[in-house]
A and B are shown apart, each in its own frame.
Chain A
């Protein structure tokens, strides 16, 4: 949170630091007075037995410690309002990158309507040069329960709620990988619904888009296992939930697999995308992420091998 990489996160840090200083000042003042009073006015064995003077109140003093806090509150309120308006009430530029985010139990679906790209769990966005800003606007909803999109270094969180459309924006200035995770309890595997945002230079981003636009690979010359794996995949229940663009697999319940092999991780972030992990995952998702909604398909060893070979080829 304190190493912001985009404008919304940066303006929050500015406000937070101000509020921290104000509250620290109040703490030192009031805490110091309290400490002083406790030491100065402690009961001493040498005290006489008389009760101390009884004081019932003082209008002037009480008025002062009502008015001064009001002034501080007004100051903080106006500063806060400026940040709120600067984040939530500024017009969207025409060239903004539009991405639709759909939360699922326990993974993220990303659709780029202007580019015709669909992907899952790993969000790629262009960096925004301060001279020619290119902010990314996320339009968010949920397919099931409430989730929340939180990548602390880029922006504050925004809830992803079914039957409701929320928006947020971000404009990372440096390329890099920014981590986050779902921040609204959404069920058993809330903990492993991670977020990975890859901010890329315009060239890298364009290349990534070009690759993602391609339909799923269907020819695997010289790779009999992958070819057989494709057949097994297409004849099993896999296609009910998963999409591989350009094939019979058009399911929407699980992540789009068209370019699965181009991703670094599987299972929404917690597992590295290696053939061994992928095979283990397909064999029994619940052993790696208990509560995952993908069922174990009870495939035999041969089928597991060839499906893994097939999916590993979907660059």
Chain B
């Protein structure tokens, strides 16, 4: 069989049946094991939490906009930043990226579903339950002490602040259990993605022909095993400390506060790469298509990704430069942290080389990826500054760090995600999102982003620590925080355009056809939306870009690939 069979096999029977009884539809979604439906549920669930986490951020910015503000109490502010961080990492970042992975990985490797469909459903529902559990703390269970108080220990919940004596009541338990369950769900989905990638590829798709997105999801999922397991274990240890009197982190009885920090950051730093690799993955697919060129240096991109995966496991203590680990320990982690910039740099250079010599089309997915490139470059460079331990002695736990990691999480990851939404929405729904609204979304969000996070670096340099609910007028932080707050309004407006666009396009968007972007990977060879079985017959591929080969039989990739 040749590549051409991929296209011939498109099954044109309509599958999207709108207008069935709602109860049937709900039942179908609740019980589904289809990777596409589960992926979409992950994404929608994450979008809801994105809005909640965004509102929490807005409330904090209102509180900090002027000095000595009394908009919220210190207790409420501490709950807000704890919930914002926990929500954004565990209930937005992880599920939305797993959602895209769930949806795209089987389609891109020519499979009909994930390796373990039921585990997939289990992982989603346990993660979803975790998010609901966390927010249930706001209501609290009746009759329980401290009912109605959200966790307020910070998203990294340093011991011994989480001990029973400093955090009485149950709010910390809600946090612990939510993170624990989310960890279980993440490990389940990671297991699924690794197995699917290794065992479910279609004929001809050697590892060296896998789309880069799939490669990155493979590395990211493998990292989840190593990174999320210690965190999940630490939640159990913390619960034992709180309820049956063990002393892992209980400093009053000889436990170690530093032990918790190690547990948390051996998760926490790989987690950053777990979140950013999927963003890289989207960019790896979008930039070539809109530059009309193959990705530059595919083997180097794979090697850099695997390199990042390994190195990221040995950088965690750069979050602990101020813990007093001593000169030798600090020096090691300075080196490891700086070295990771080499594979990351290779990626940026390869994207640049992919654009070089292309015919760049500035459609909405592409402009988000371009913004990603600039912003990720800046985030990487402030990362190198912070890798120099003495710099972190000054600016660790200051607003400079907050600005740095929001540059990564928002400027790189969220922006790449927006690009991914515009790029794959036509595949998922069969309709195009509106380009004009997309441009509005882009400019509002990018202007807001730079107002907020460029200016946020400065109060850090001026000595403003993070997690303070208010500050004195005389410190010179007021104007800067006001600008940061104004930027947040622009970002919110951008997100509203986006949400409106999502809903509008579902009903009114232009019909997309199966390959609106003239792209090259397998998901574009099937219908939009894809049928439940994805492909009518199993595709066969001869190169990394099966649809390129098909469209250019005179100049196929398979002749050039090394």
Q: Please report A residues at the B interface, Cβ cutoff 8 Å.
A: 1-2, 9, 11-12, 15-16, 19-20, 22-23, 26-27, 30-31, 33-34, 37-38, 41-44, 47, 51-58, 61-62, 65-66, 69-70, 73, 76-77, 79-81, 83-85, 87-89, 105, 144-146, 148, 150, 152, 155-159, 161-164, 166-167, 179-191, 270, 290-291
For residue B361, CB closer than 8 A to chain A, the reply is: yes
State which of B22-30, B72-80, B262-270, B495-503 sits at the interface with chain A.
B72-80
State which of B31-39, B187-195, B376-384 sits at the interface with chain A.
B376-384
Which of chain A's residues have a CB closer than 8 A to the CB of B382?
23
Q: Is the CB of B255 within 8 A of A191?
A: no
Please, how many angstroms separate the alpha-carbon atoms of A232 and B251 in the complex? Answer: 36
Which of A31, A73, A148 lies in contact with B341, CB distance below 8 A?
A73
User: In the complex, what's the smallest C-beta–C-beta distance from A278 to chain B, in angstroms?
Assistant: 19
Q: Is the CB of B334 within 8 A of A81?
A: yes
Please, how many angstroms separate the alpha-carbon atoms of A56 and B93 in the complex? Answer: 32
Q: Is the CB of A62 within 8 A of B396?
A: no
Which of chain A's residues have a CB closer than 8 A to the CB of B358?
41, 52
* Known contacts A52-B359, A54-B555, A55-B294; A65 and B346 CB within 8 A of each other: yes
Q: Is the CB of A80 within 8 A of B388?
A: yes
| Residue contacts A-B, CB under 8 angstroms, 5 given | A15-B391, A84-B334, A152-B394, A179-B475, A189-B74
Which of chain A's residues have a CB closer than 8 A to the CB of B390?
11-12, 15-16, 80, 83-84, 87, 156
Please, how many angstroms separate the alpha-carbon atoms of A157 and B348 in the complex? Answer: 33
Q: Is the CB of B327 within 8 A of A89?
A: yes
For residue B257, CB closer than 8 A to chain A, the reply is: yes
Which of chain A's residues have a CB closer than 8 A to the CB of B293?
51-55
User: In the complex, what's the smallest C-beta–C-beta distance from A28 to chain B, in angstroms?
Assistant: 11
Please, how many angstroms separate the alpha-carbon atoms of A242 and B471 in the complex? Answer: 28
Q: Is the CB of A164 within 8 A of B338?
A: no
For residue B164, CB closer than 8 A to chain A, the reply is: no
Q: Is the CB of B75 within 8 A of A290?
A: yes
Q: Is the CB of B378 within 8 A of A166?
A: no
Q: Is the CB of A2 within 8 A of B160?
A: no
For residue B560, CB closer than 8 A to chain A, the reply is: yes
Q: Is the CB of B397 within 8 A of A16?
A: no
Please, how many angstroms separate the alpha-carbon atoms of A315 and B75 in the complex? Answer: 35
Which of chain A's residues have a CB closer than 8 A to the CB of B475?
179
Which of chain B's residues have a CB closer than 8 A to the CB of A61?
353
Given A69-B341, A145-B166, 18 extra CB contacts under 8 A: A2-B461, A19-B391, A33-B352, A41-B355, A52-B358, A56-B296, A73-B339, A76-B384, A85-B331, A145-B257, A157-B322, A163-B252, A163-B256, A167-B324, A181-B468, A185-B397, A185-B467, A291-B75
Which of chain A's residues have a CB closer than 8 A to the CB of B392?
156
For residue B357, CB closer than 8 A to chain A, the reply is: yes
User: In the complex, what's the smallest C-beta–C-beta distance from A311 to chain B, in angstroms?
Assistant: 24
Q: Is the CB of B394 within 8 A of A156?
A: yes
User: In the complex, what's the smallest C-beta–C-beta distance from A304 to chain B, in angstroms?
Assistant: 25
Which of chain A's residues have a CB closer than 8 A to the CB of B160?
144-146, 162
Which of chain A's residues have a CB closer than 8 A to the CB of B338?
73, 76-77, 80
Interface string of B360-380 (1 = CB under 8 A from A): 111000000010011001100
User: In the complex, what's the smallest C-beta–C-beta distance from A246 to chain B, in angstroms?
Assistant: 31
A-B contact count (CB 8 A): 264
Which of A56, A66, A191 lies in contact with B561, CB distance below 8 A?
A56
For residue B143, CB closer than 8 A to chain A, the reply is: no
Which of B257, B362, B465 lies in contact with A161, CB distance below 8 A?
B257
Please, how many angstroms separate the alpha-carbon atoms of A146 and B264 in the complex? Answer: 15
* Known contacts A56-B561, A164-B258, A290-B73; A187 and B395 CB within 8 A of each other: no
* Known contacts A56-B298, A164-B257; A191 and B327 CB within 8 A of each other: no
Please, how many angstroms separate the alpha-carbon atoms of A9 and B391 in the complex? Answer: 10
Please, how many angstroms separate the alpha-carbon atoms of A236 and B186 in the complex? Answer: 55
Which of chain B's residues have a CB closer than 8 A to the CB of A270?
472
For residue B437, CB closer than 8 A to chain A, the reply is: no
Q: Is the CB of B355 within 8 A of A146?
A: no
- Which 10 A/B pairs are nearest by Cβ-Cβ distance? A156-B393, A191-B468, A166-B324, A162-B251, A163-B251, A57-B297, A23-B381, A88-B327, A43-B359, A185-B467
Please, how many angstroms separate the alpha-carbon atoms of A87 and B471 in the complex? Answer: 30
Interface string of B396-417 (1 = CB under 8 A from A): 1110000000000000000000
Residue of B nearest to A68 (CB): B345
Please, how many angstroms separate the alpha-carbon atoms of A148 and B384 in the complex? Answer: 23
For residue B154, CB closer than 8 A to chain A, the reply is: yes
Q: Is the CB of A69 within 8 A of B345?
A: yes
User: In the complex, what's the smallest C-beta–C-beta distance from A25 to chain B, in angstroms?
Assistant: 10
For residue B161, CB closer than 8 A to chain A, the reply is: yes
Q: Is the CB of B356 within 8 A of A146?
A: no
Please, how many angstroms separate the alpha-carbon atoms of A43 and B396 in the complex? Answer: 44
Please, how many angstroms separate the alpha-carbon atoms of A70 and B335 in the complex? Answer: 11
Q: Is the CB of A19 within 8 A of B345?
A: no
Which of chain A's residues have a CB closer than 8 A to the CB of B73?
290
Which of chain A's residues have a CB closer than 8 A to the CB of B294?
54-56
Q: Is the CB of A69 within 8 A of B342?
A: yes
For residue B469, CB closer than 8 A to chain A, the reply is: yes
Q: Is the CB of A162 within 8 A of B74?
A: no
For residue B117, CB closer than 8 A to chain A, the reply is: no
Residue of B nearest to A152 (CB): B463
Which of A30, A76, A183 lies in contact with B397, CB distance below 8 A?
A183
Which of chain A's residues have a CB closer than 8 A to the CB of B466?
185
